[in-house]
Copies of this chain bind each other. A is one copy, B any other.
């Protein structure tokens, strides 16, 4: 590898927005959009934890941004830019960094964001990465996990469980002949750009598993949730595995779809706000606590785990 400053000049300066001041200062300077609040989030991706050694660096870069973009989407924020940390082990080829920065560039274009600044370091063992994403939202309009009330309907975007099955496919535990499931695991689609303020009563993105993430809405809202397992939308590829993969689909994470609660009288507005994006009602909020999963006949299904947690 070339040295730290040459690498910054070559791979990161071209990604920098005006706020980054050419990456030639100690920090970035951001003029906040007038009359808006800022939304700030950070997520890491670590080799051996969030991605596998040897994964395509462009896809690692894009997933790093997209996981954070999904957090902004769950708050109803418009993304603007990001700060980045990289810690790279000595043996890494410079082609890795070329691929990584190309992935960043690609998603910067798609999501209209730019690099504000960052920090690069050497690492002893594993690649470790983080991104801090900054977005904006109208005053008071940030979505939260805490506003759901009994009677609200529970809706999800897209399909749930593809990424969990995609990860299994990557480990050879199931077949994914078209690569669709694997693709959903490697390159999620954050649901940014929906105008859900004043429509949904609570929102979260599915990053640790549907049941666990919906459980956060329950806890923060002081309410319970009842969902019907068969109503949780599956892609054609995931549906092919049937009930055998139900638990994985509901409890493993990484879908980066949104789960929202919607008061019944705003369901039409919700659907309209989602436009062409498929959305599916999977249940409703109730008085009480926790998430109950039922089969079509009303029987309660129990699962061995709630969702992904780091020890």
Contacts and interface: CB of A to CB of B under 8 A. Distances in A.
A77 B117 CA distance: 16
A46 B146 contact: no
Contacts of A21: 144
Contacts of A164: none
A166 B75 CA distance: 45
Interface string A293-311: 0000000000000000111
A24 B145 contact: yes
Given A24-B146, A139-B31, A311-B122, A44 B87 contact: yes
Contacts of A46: 87, 121, 123-124, 128
| This chain: copies in complex | 2
A215 to B, nearest CB: 10
A311 B86 CA distance: 12
A175 interface: no
Contacts of A124: 46-49, 125-126
Interface stretch (A1-9, A98-106, A191-199): A1-9
A28 B85 CA distance: 19
Contacts of A253: none
A143 to B, nearest CB: 8
B24 A29 contact: no
Contacts of A130: 42, 44, 85, 119, 130
Interface residues of A, number: 69
Given A4-B309, A77-B27, A311-B4, A41 B85 contact: no
A26 B205 contact: yes
Interface string A123-155: 111101010111101010010111000000000
A39 interface: yes
A23 to B, nearest CB: 11
A126 B89 CA distance: 12
B25 A30 contact: no
A37 interface: yes
Which of A27, A125, A310 has most B Cβ within 10 Å? Answer: A27
